[in-house]
Amino acid sequence: MSLIELPLPDSAVMNARDQIVRDLVGICGEGAVISDEDGRRTFETDALTAYRRMPLAVVLPTSTEDVAAVLKYAKAHGIKVVPRGAGTSLCGGALPAEDAIVLGVSKMNRVLELDYQNRFARVETGITNLAISAAVAEEGFFYAPDPSSQLACTLAGNLAMNSGGAHCLKYGVTTNNVLGVKLVTMDGEIVEIGGSYLDAEAYDLLALIVGSEGQFGIITEATVRILRAAEGARPMMIGFETSAKAGICVARIIASGIIPVAIEFMDRPAIEVCEAFAKAGYPTDVEALLIIEVEGSEQEIVDRLAYIASIAHELNPQALVVSASDEQSAKIWKGRKSAFGAIGRLADYYCMDGTIPLGHLPHVLEEISAICARYGLRVANIFHAGDGNLHPLIMYDANSPGEIEKAERAGAEVLKLCVSVGGCLTGEHGVGIEKRDLMRAQFTDEDLAVQLRIKAVFDPDWLLNPGKVFPLDAVEQAKAEADRVARGGVSAAGPAEAA
């Protein structure tokens, strides 16, 4: 891809690489530092694999204190730091820079405390999403957020991007399931925010930190809510002749007051490839498929599924199947959870992430198809329909010149469409480098200036996760303004705000 500009590296820092590596070994030990070319190449990209940069060095600490020591050293020497969990970011959020240290938390993956009476788990953030639920499953508990990559993605990345998943319709996204964090700032200070219960003392900064994409600090520990697992759960599948009808059905279900655990959407291209992979019994003669799951006692499940079926019948569905066994339910979800990988059997694809108000779902789906058709590209739609979090998969041929750029341009139009109907650029993947230059489609210059001032409070030297989230020219303007104020000038925001 060539449409996204990346900052030029600092040659002075790169020339000092050997000394920096020696210093990092002195701080964390030889086993925690990766400096050889083959080893660093493992970290040169994340899940947005079209962009690659070889990092200066990679550090994999095993304690919060080591993280603090590395950040303190980096600040003292003006070295940029890119935080990294498992590298599953789809927006380039963990893309390295040539003059930056990649600081990964994957070795910090311990469960530190389990409290079932107060329903929380305290863990290191290198733990995988699924491992949290596994740690508490024996006692009948689980951790609610469940992104499709939950087998691999770490809590660190989930916290950075405020990830969700299929079941966030009922249980919320990451920020709704975190009680407290331990954050290391760029100057090496260890800060505890929140606690092990709701409404902990001090300022409530959790909503600011969760979703901040590594711009404010590195989270090394988190206290998360664990929930008692429901008595039972069961999915149903409803197929429609048009995506518009499926969208109307979703809106009517939510409007009825029923909140299922999940409402997932697939269109025909997605249905066909997922059925070929999972053999889940998806109807392949429909244009759109909803997977809807409810939970509770057996009678609650039966009643809720029957009520949802009555809503669907008003729209004349072509197929309506209720899971009859745990095995069938597992296959239904296997197909959905494996969808992104299964689509890869058809073509290369660019996975988008935007949110919209549910009432606009039928219109937006039609427009997404029209946008991709204008570029001569196919699209498969798989997304969390219940909360309007769209994941169009724009298919292209990476070996055909110009196809990648066309996919990026089509993707930008899709995201602008989401914003135009009152939605947002991202639901759970984050901004990273992918949506950085689209931030002005959603925010005014004044909005961005406020966000950049907050960033500068945590990271005044602009060393954390550089080149992400904020348009590069806006960052340069903010730096110039800060320098002018530091020299005794008056901020463009006015004397009162400058003070």
Per-residue confidence in pLDDT tens, the chain, 499 aa: 468 999 999 999 999 999 999 999 999 999 999 999 999 999 999 999 989 999 999 999 999 999 999 999 999 999 999 999 999 999 999 999 999 999 999 999 999 999 999 999 999 999 999 999 999 999 999 999 999 889 999 999 999 999 998 889 999 999 999 999 999 999 999 999 999 988 888 888 999 999 999 999 999 999 999 999 999 999 999 999 998 899 889 989 988 998 899 999 999 988 988 898 888 889 999 999 999 999 999 999 999 999 999 999 999 999 999 999 999 999 898 888 888 778 887 789 999 999 999 888 888 988 999 999 999 999 998 888 888 899 999 999 989 999 999 999 999 999 999 999 999 999 999 999 999 999 999 999 999 999 999 999 999 999 999 999 999 999 999 999 888 888 876 555 543 344 3
Biggest CA pair distance of the chain = 72
At 277 the pLDDT is: 83
Select from 59, 49, 55 the least CA-distant residue to 23: 59
> Which whole-number Å values give the CA distances from 295 to 233, 292, 299, 363, 446, in the listed order?
4, 10, 10, 30, 45
At 1 the pLDDT is: 47
> Which whole-number Å values give the CA distances from 433 to 5, 90, 113, 438, in the listed order?
9, 10, 35, 10
Q: For 394-398, which contacts have Cβ atoms below 8 Å and span 24 or more sequence positions?
A: 394/349, 394/350, 394/352, 395/269, 395/343, 395/346, 395/347, 395/348, 395/349, 396/347, 396/348, 396/349, 396/350, 397/347, 397/348, 398/348
pTM of this structure: 0.92
